[in-house]
């Protein structure tokens, strides 16, 4: 028996290695497909549009219609804005009756999914990497609003999760967005004083500055290891995300976490990460700080200018979960109080006790979607 043990163990290791490294299931192959191909397989009408921004970057926008329809909705237009290290796939990764973009499209809204510069659908390999969420809001989102209005001339709502909310705020504070309706930010805040887990530790460490000496981009790409971990080892993956995004108590749909892992992380620039760090460390929402010398050249002053939130006149609605490790309750409430001091038409805040950060992508109930529908419907 002893003579057979070593070959048997070796065979088992070989099979496991093959399954993890080389073997691709049909579902894994499906999740690797571009968003428009996957949604067409689900019988959703979807069209891609290639748009050039004012600073000459190419971005891709997808228009999504109601399932089974042969034409696009003419209801109120809604633009979905991607998160930090994620792409617009995150809005269609859950079950169809729980995914934000699916639900709103099937309700009758005219849905648009914006891929910001540097992501898989808008790579811009030859354009450099001197951009952060500022350019996402100042150029990409503003051009998307212009484009959407050409096809559906109604006031436009925007939904941004996490850093997607910062993108929206830049567009509003810089007065770049026209024909606006409702601005909805969930799982987002410009403050990070109470953020917990691994992310603030990494952001506050010198790691990003060290990386910036060797590269201007981070392109890790989705990990097969993380995909298999989240698909087959739910407790371990839940424990991992407990220290990154959500607490163990959140009502995350852990059985679908592998879908998220297959599409994330997305490429990002060092400048985008540094901009996030500057915002978290300083507690101030301002443009990217290049240092006094370059600031003087770019901004005409030594300090990076603050975003003027007082200029915001649109309706803003904040939604957060109590089990969110990143956008914590004290920071979100502080953000809410700051927005109330602006000229915003209306500012509201809603708390969901069972939700964390990734719940807005993979929640078991997605009750917040009913609130979003009501907000957009309300004139």
Same domain, 12 and 85: no
In the predicted model, what is the mean pLDDT of residues 151-164?
96
At 115, phi and psi to the nearest 5?
A: -100, 115
Predicted confidence (pLDDT) per residue in 201-219, tens digit: 877 788 888 888 888 887 7
Residues contacting residue 17 through CB under 8 Å, at least 6 positions apart: none
Query: Is 147:51 a contact under the CB 8 Å cutoff?
Result: yes
Same domain, 263 and 125: yes
Split at pLDDT 50, 70, 90, the class of 145 is very high
- CA–CA distance, 90 with 164 (Å, rounded to integer): 12
Query: Looking at the predicted structure, is the pLDDT value of residue 17 above 70?
Result: no
Same domain, 24 and 57: no
- Smallest CA-to-CA distance from 48 within 114, 93, 135, 110 is with 114
pLDDT at site 5: 55
Same domain, 21 and 141: no
| Residue 304 backbone class (left: φ over 0; alpha: ψ -120 to 50; beta: rest) | beta
- Residue 47's SS3 state is strand
Residue 75 sits in a domain whose CATH number is: 3.40.50.1820
- CA–CA distance, 185 with 171 (Å, rounded to integer): 13
Same domain, 40 and 125: yes
- CA–CA distance, 283 with 191 (Å, rounded to integer): 6
Same domain, 222 and 112: yes
Same domain, 70 and 176: yes
- CA–CA distance, 114 with 92 (Å, rounded to integer): 13
DSSP 277-303: HHHHHH---BS----HHHHHHHHSSSS
Same domain, 177 and 301: yes
Predicted confidence (pLDDT) per residue in 235-271, tens digit: 888 888 777 788 888 888 888 888 888 888 788 888 9
Q: How many domains does the chain have?
A: 2
- CA–CA distance, 216 with 196 (Å, rounded to integer): 26
Split at pLDDT 50, 70, 90, the class of 290 is very high
Average model confidence (pLDDT) for the chain? Answer: 89
Query: Looking at the predicted structure, is the pLDDT value of residue 222 above 80?
Result: no
| Residue 366 backbone class (left: φ over 0; alpha: ψ -120 to 50; beta: rest) | left
- CA–CA distance, 317 with 336 (Å, rounded to integer): 9
Q: Can you list the positions of beta strands (E) in 99-230?
A: 110-115, 156-161, 180-186, 217-218
Same domain, 253 and 352: yes
Query: DSSP H helical segments within 152-223, as ranges?
Result: 163-173, 198-204, 207-212
Same domain, 105 and 24: no
Residue recorded with tokens 């490790």: 325
pLDDT at site 217: 82
pLDDT at site 232: 82
Q: Check the CA dihedral 362-100-356-145 and report its sign.
A: positive
Range of the domain at 127: 33-377
Residue recorded with tokens 């603030």: 200
Same domain, 18 and 50: no
Same domain, 17 and 41: no
């Amino acid at each position: 028996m002893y003579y057979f043990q070593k070959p048997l163990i070796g065979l088992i290791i070989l099979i496991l290695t093959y399954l993890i490294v080389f073997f691709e299931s049909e579902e894994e192959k499906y999740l690797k497909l571009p968003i428009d191909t996957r949604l067409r397989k689900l019988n959703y009408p979807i069209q891609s549009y290639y748009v050039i921004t004012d600073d000459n970057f190419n971005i891709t926008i997808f228009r999504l219609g109601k399932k089974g329809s042969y034409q696009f909705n003419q209801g109120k237009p809604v633009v979905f804005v991607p998160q930090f290290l994620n792409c617009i796939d995150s809005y269609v990764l859950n079950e169809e009756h729980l995914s934000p973009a699916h639900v709103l499209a099937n309700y009758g809204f005219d849905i648009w999914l914006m891929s910001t510069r540097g992501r898989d659908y808008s790579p811009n390999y030859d354009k450099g990497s001197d951009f952060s969420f500022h350019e996402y809001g100042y150029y990409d989102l503003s051009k998307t609003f212009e484009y959407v209005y050409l096809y559906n001339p109604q006031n436009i709502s925007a939904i941004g999760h996490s850093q997607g909310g910062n993108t929206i705020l830049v567009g509003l504070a810089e007065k770049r967005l026209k024909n606006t309706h409702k601005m909805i930010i969930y799982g987002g805040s410009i403050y990070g004083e109470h953020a917990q887990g691994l992310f603030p530790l990494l952001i506050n460490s010198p790691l990003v500055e060290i990386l910036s000496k060797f590269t201007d981009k981070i392109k890790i790409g989705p990990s097969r290891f993380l995909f298999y971990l989240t698909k087959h080892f739910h407790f371990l993956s839940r424990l991992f995300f407990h220290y990154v995004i959500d607490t163990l108590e959140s009502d995350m749909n852990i059985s679908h976490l592998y879908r998220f892992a297959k599409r994330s992380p997305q490429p990002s620039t060092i400048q985008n990460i540094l901009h996030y760090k500057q915002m978290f460390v300083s507690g101030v929402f301002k443009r990217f700080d290049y240092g006094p010398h370059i600031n003087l050249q770019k901004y005409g002053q030594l300090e990076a200018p603050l975003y003027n939130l007082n200029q915001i006149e649109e309706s803003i609605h904040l939604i957060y979960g109590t089990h969110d490790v990143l956008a914590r309750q004290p920071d979100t409430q502080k953000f809410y109080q700051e927005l109330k001091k602006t000229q915003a038409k209306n500012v509201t805040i809603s708390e969901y006790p069972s939700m964390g950060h990734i719940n807005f992508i993979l929640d078991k109930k997605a009750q917040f979607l009913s609130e979003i529908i009501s907000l957009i419907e309300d004139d």
